Each structure stands twice: as structure tokens, then as C-alpha cells.
Amino acid sequence: MKRRDFLKVSGAVTAGLALTGCLPGRESKTAAATPLENEQKKLYKDRISRDVSPYDPLYLKEITVNIGLKEPFDVMHVSDCHIARADDRDGERTIKLAASRSRGMNAGEHYLDEAVNIARKKGMHLMHTGDLIDFVSEANLDTCAKHMMDEDWFTCSGNHEFSIYMGEDHEDEAYKRRSYDAVQGAFPNDITFASRVIGGVNFVAVDNVYYNFTHAQLELMKAEAEKGLPMVMLVHVPLYTPAHFKDEMEEVGGECAYLAGVPDHLVDTYKPGRQESQRADAPTMEFIDWLKEQSLLKAILAGHMHRFFEDRFSATAIQYTVGACYLGEAEVVHFV
């Protein structure tokens, strides 16, 4: 699904997955099934036997990040579940919003559960790169807290975590502060900046939901680099690369690229409203320029785009953008 279509969605949307786990436009797999694919088929049969709504199997893209670890490990990377719940605590307007938005994204929580089940059985670490919920509501925050606290997640937030009535107001840092404390209370780690070392790799989650970084985040990132460990950064909004920009502009018909750190002369081609919200400021460009020079950076995990894309970000790091969980997509990252 194109992001411009998603932003307008209030009608039905389906994942379009085949029982083989292939999306429309993907070539069907002809090789022997992998253990993960066999597990997906088993989970699908289990759902049918329990008379659970027979969603198609979760599509898992597998990628490998070669760091030279003595003890490899796997990560289940999920993003953009867009859970849309509301109840009598939230008021009639939010309840109507939930009814409208959930028509196109009602499978997000189901696929999130499936990703967790696979990760649990395979001993994978769990990471989420934002937009777990679609908008701020008491019911959504309760759901977010339940999922985040039931398992050992490492996360960053997305722009929808702070969205109140979906595009009604200009979304900036002042807007974010209206719901920040409530959202933070539903997440397991700091949603502005957090780090965790797993298997000798330093995972660093950085908030860039409004397309910018801050001087404070850069100083914190420099302190993480001082640890001398290979680093993997988690962000919601992918960082600019020429190939991703070109592909996304073609995908959305030229309105904007939804990437952070896009050069000014390219942002000048956006529609006026998108220019304002997506133009990188000086601290953002300083952050990205510094990041490109860090040999310890091995990968960037991102979401936001609702479709898979990977491209080299720097001499040592590839950026992996994952598909949308509500469309039945996630990825397994093998760190070796």
C-alpha cells in the first residue's frame, strides 16, 4: 500500500498475502521451505483448527547483518501495527475514529501476536520501530502497555504514538508533549533515546518521528560510540539515501519521500505542507553527517514506509526498512 493511500484509509484494506506467504508482485518461492516457513504453515493450520479468523501467514523477510560475532543471535523486527482501539473512556469522537481507522488495519494486533509467538519459540529478541498504535486513546495505551510489558521488547516510538485526532493539528515537539508522558508510560524503554547491549552489539533507539534529530541526541549518540561496540540504530523514519528517495518519490507520485535528512534542494520539490514538516534542520544534518562517518555503525532498522526497502547508508551500514505489521509483514534479522 502506498503511504498516501494509507493516510486516507478508512475503508477496507487487505494484506493480499497468498498462503505461501508471498505478497502480490513477489515471486513465489520455489526452493525448499525454511524452518521459519514451515513454522508459519503450522501456525496457520493451528489457527484454522481453533476456528480463529484465518488470516494468511505472517510474511517474514530474512536478512543477515555480518558483524563477526562469536555467538550469533536473531531479532524479530516489527513496525507499524497501527492498532486502533477506543472505549467509553475516550469519548464519542475517538470511538468513531477507531471504527473508521480499524476497517483498514484490523489485522495489526493479530500479526503482532504471531510475530511474538514465532520469536518466543525461536528464542529471538523483539524490536519494534514505531506506530504500534494508530492514535492516542486510553484503550490504545492500555493495549500498547500490555504488549510491550508482556514480552522483553526494545522499541522506539512512531509519529502515530502521539497523534490525537489524525492530522487535525500541526504535529511538532509542542504537539508531542501533549501526550508524551502518557505514551512513555506504555513503553518499556525511554522513547527519546535508549540503548541496550545484546550479544556484544549496542542497539540504540532514537526518536526522529518528526523527521529531525537534536543536539542532545547527537551528544548521547557520541557517548554510545565511546563504548567501542558495534552499533545498530533503531528509528521510525528511515534516513535519506538517494535510491530510497528516488523509489519513494515514484511510489507516492512525487508528493514527498517521507525520509529524514533529505537535502534542501530535493525538499523544495515537495508540496508546501510537506516541505514544512519534512525539511531537515541543522542539528539533523549534523547528526546524519556524523553518523555516516561511524565505522562502528553496522545497520539501521526503520519502519514508517509500510513496505520493505534496503539500501546502503554508509560505508559500514545498510538501512533495513521493514514492511507494515498490519499488512502481515515483519523481518527476522540474523546478526552473525
For 33-49, write each residue's pLDDT tens digit.
555 555 555 554 554 44
Domain residue limits at 161: 3-13+33-335
Q: Find out whether 302 and 237 touch, Cβ atoms under 8 Å.
A: yes
Of the ranges 5-9, 89-93, 250-254, 312-316, the best mean pLDDT one: 312-316
pLDDT at position 252, please? 73
- Into how many domains does the chain fold? 1
| Cβ contacts of 189 within 8 Å, gap of 6 or more | 154, 155, 196, 205
**CA-to-CA dists, residue 274 to 173, 254, 256, angstroms:** 16, 11, 7
What would the mean pLDDT of 192-203 be, rounded to a whole number? 98
In a domain, 225, yes or no: yes
Q: Find out whether 311 and 67 touch, Cβ atoms under 8 Å.
A: no
- Give the position of cell 509467538: 117
Using 50, 70 and 90 to split pLDDT, how confident is the model at 27?
very low
> Which triple of cell numbers denotes residue 168?
487535525
Residue predicted with more confidence, 302 or 16: 302
In a domain, 19, yes or no: no
In a domain, 181, yes or no: yes
Residue predicted with more confidence, 10 or 191: 191
For 105-120, write each residue's pLDDT tens digit.
889 999 999 999 999 9
For 122-140, write each residue's pLDDT tens digit.
999 999 999 999 999 999 9
The DSSP code for 161 is G
In a domain, 22, yes or no: no
- Give the position of cell 514538516: 277
Query: Residue 227 pLDDT > 80, yes or no?
Result: yes
The DSSP code for 293 is T
In a domain, 28, yes or no: no
For 50-101, write each residue's pLDDT tens digit.
444 557 899 999 999 999 999 999 999 999 999 999 999 999 999 999 998 8
Query: How are the residues of the chain apportioned to helix, strand and coil, as percentages rounded to the nearest 5?
Result: 35, 20, 45
Estimate the crossing angle of helix 138-150 against helix 108-122, to 10 degrees: 10
Using 50, 70 and 90 to split pLDDT, how confident is the model at 325?
very high
Nearest-5° Cα angle at 13, 10 to 18? 175
**CA-to-CA dists, residue 54 to 17, 58, 93, 117, angstroms:** 12, 11, 31, 16
Identify which of 127, 184, 183 has the alpha carbon closest to the alpha carbon of residue 151.
127
pLDDT at position 165, please? 84
Q: Which helix (H) or strand (E) holds 259?
A: none
What would the mean pLDDT of 197-213 be, rounded to a whole number? 98
Looking up residue 53, the CATH number of its domain turns out to be 3.30.750.180
**C-alpha span between 228 and 300 (Å, rounded):** 17
**C-alpha span between 132 and 183 (Å, rounded):** 11
The proportion of the chain whose per-residue pLDDT surpasses 70, expressed as a percent, equals: 84
In a domain, 152, yes or no: yes
In a domain, 169, yes or no: yes
pLDDT at position 169, please? 75
In a domain, 228, yes or no: yes
Coil, strand or helix: which one is 116? Answer: helix
For the chain, give the mean pLDDT.
87
> Which triple of cell numbers denotes residue 214?
537534536
- Give the position of cell 473508521: 100
What would the mean pLDDT of 176-191 be, rounded to a whole number? 96
pTM of the prediction? Answer: 0.85
pLDDT at position 48, please? 43
For the sheet with 59-65, list strands across it: 59-65, 329-335, 73-78, 125-128, 153-155
Written as one letter, the residue type at 72 is P
Query: Residue 160 pLDDT > 90, yes or no?
Result: yes
Residue predicted with more confidence, 294 or 46: 294
Identify which of 268, 266, 260 has the alpha carbon closest to the alpha carbon of residue 291.
260
CB atoms within 10 A of CB 15: 20
